[in-house]
Amino acid sequence: MRTAIVLFNLGGPDRPEAVEPFLRNLFSDPAILRVPGFLRSFLARTIARRRAPIARAVYDKLGGGSPLLPNTQAQARALEAALSDRGLDLGEVRCFVAMRYWNPFAEETVREVQRFAPDRIVMLPLYPQFSTTTTASSFDDWARAAAKAGLTVPMLTIRDYPTEPGFIAAVSRLTAERLPEARAAGSVKILFSAHGLPKKIVQAGDPYAEQVGSSVRAIAERLGLSLDDYEVCFQSRVGPLEWIGPYTDEEIVRAAEARQSILLVPVAFVSEHSETLVELDIEYRHLAEKHGAPGYVRVPTVGTAPEFIAGLADLVRRAIGTERPAVLPSR
């Protein structure tokens, strides 16, 4: 018995010249730019061209490219090790990585999976909270690539896991470890930050914001936090549309001007990348300091934290236990 586990993530440009085509792929996705196809193609090229210099400046701070792929590959190796250590009768297990907007694309990963010749495939998104813009988009992309390649192996789908115990335990531990440093500077406001979404997407039924709230409530309960101790907020908004709030940058200003020390916790990202290493660590830190925050501490993403990886292994085990091919979500 051979089991292929496919880890899904957004991907990121690996070199400066990849930034514009990465952005073009991003804005060409109908889950991201929800306009008619003929218009989307034109807008994707236009937006990518205009935003590329700004994005390149961001990636320059990271050495020219995103660390998301190597970080995801490390999670894949850790998950393989965790599954082999559990003594489960899974046969040979191998993890693969499929990125949505840059290499390795789903088509490439499908070919790798075919060469492995698995008896079953477990589809595991590295988005704990489900969204049509991330999870569903990645699954749809995989379904197209699999159909094109004639991949007919049974596929078991893990849809989401916003309150999975291992994930919650990892975020909670990492938060608790950084809390004394934040408290040393004064009264603390904990900001749980997640990537934002345009409000119209949430109003159309996307469960992402609700699931982010579920994650935060589970973490707060584990840490014994009161409602006054923390705020759920959303970062990385772009464009003219109204996005879900409250906005992370505005909450940082509010806490800083109240002379509160800020503990910033990424609650939807599970790997370090530009939005944690640049937006949170550099831009938002500067914003906090500019407005007088006595302290600013950022909690790392869960990465390969043992609790998180063990939680992913449990998700895989439960998915295999059902042995029922799941229906892929569609928009």
Is 165-298 in the same CATH topology as 1-160+302-331?
Answer: yes
pLDDT, residue 86, reads 59
Q: Which residue has the higher pLDDT, 267 or 240?
A: 267
Structure tokens at 120: 């079953």
**Which of the four pLDDT bands, split at 50, 70 and 90, describes residue 278?**
very high
Is 195 annotated as belonging to a binding site?
yes
Whole-angstrom distance, CA of residue 59 vs CA of residue 236: 15
Predicted pLDDT of residue 90:
74
Q: Per residue in 183-242, pLDDT tens? A: 999 999 999 999 999 999 999 999 999 999 999 999 999 999 999 999 999 998 877 779
Check whether 62 has a pLDDT greater than 80.
yes
* Secondary structure of residue 280 in the 3-state scheme: helix
pLDDT digits (tens, 9 = 90+) for 135-180: 999 999 999 999 999 999 999 999 999 999 999 999 999 999 999 9
Domain boundaries, the chain: 1-160+302-331, 165-298
Spatial distance between the Cα atoms of 11 and 175, rounded to a whole number of angstroms: 26
Q: What is the average per-residue pLDDT within 291-297?
A: 98
**Averaged pLDDT score across all residues of the chain:** 94
Residue 327 to residue 307: CA distance in whole angstroms? 29
The DSSP letter of residue 300 is P
CATH number, domain 1-160+302-331: 3.40.50.1400
The three-class DSSP label of residue 219 is: helix
pLDDT at position 260 is 98
Let me know: does 14 contact 69? Beta carbons within 8 Å.
Answer: yes
CATH number of 165-298: 3.40.50.1400
Residue 87 has a pLDDT of 55
In angstroms, the first-to-last Cα distance of the chain is 33
Question: Does 286 count as an annotated binding residue?
Answer: no
Give Cβ neighbours of residue 157 (< 8 Å, ≥ 6 apart): 122, 123, 139, 319, 326, 327, 328
Closest CA to 217 of 160, 159, 163, 298: 163
100-133 pLDDT, tens digit each = 999 999 999 999 999 999 999 999 999 999 999 9
**pLDDT level of residue 37 (50, 70, 90 thresholds):** confident
* pLDDT for res 241: 79
Could you tell me if 230 and 149 are in contact, meaning their C-beta atoms sit under 8 angstroms apart? Answer: no
How sure is the predictor about 328, in pLDDT bands with cuts at 50, 70 and 90?
very low
Distant-in-sequence contacts of 59-65, Cβ < 8 A, 24+ apart: 59/12, 59/13, 59/16, 59/19, 59/274, 60/16, 61/277, 61/278, 61/282, 62/274, 62/277, 62/278, 64/15, 64/16, 65/12, 65/13, 65/14, 65/15, 65/16, 65/18
Q: Tokens 């991201």 correspond to what residue?
A: 32
User: Tens digits of per-residue pLDDT, 241-254?
Assistant: 799 999 999 999 99
Q: Give the C-alpha distances (Å, rounded to integers) separating 46 from 23, 156, 186, 187.
A: 10, 38, 46, 46
Instruction: Report the percentage of the chain scoring pLDDT > 70.
Output: 96
Residue 2, pLDDT above cutoff 90: yes
Average pLDDT over residues 263-278: 97
Residue 130 in 3-state DSSP? coil
8 A C-beta contact, residue 262 and residue 293: yes
Beta strands per DSSP E along the chain: 2-9, 92-99, 120-125, 155-157, 188-195, 230-235, 261-266, 296-298
Task: Please say whether the beta carbons of 79 and 120 come within 8 A.
Answer: no
C-alpha torsion sign, points 279, 283, 288, 294: positive
Q: What is the pLDDT of residue 326?
A: 39
User: Could you give the angle at the alpha carbon of 315 between the alpha carbons of 309 and 321, nearest 5°?
Assistant: 140
**pLDDT over 50 at 307, yes or no:** yes
Q: Is the pLDDT of residue 324 over 80?
A: no
Torsion angle (degrees, nearest 10) of CA 191, 192, 195, 199:
-80
**DSSP string of 167-188, one letter each residue:** HHHHHHHHHHHHHHHHHTTSSE
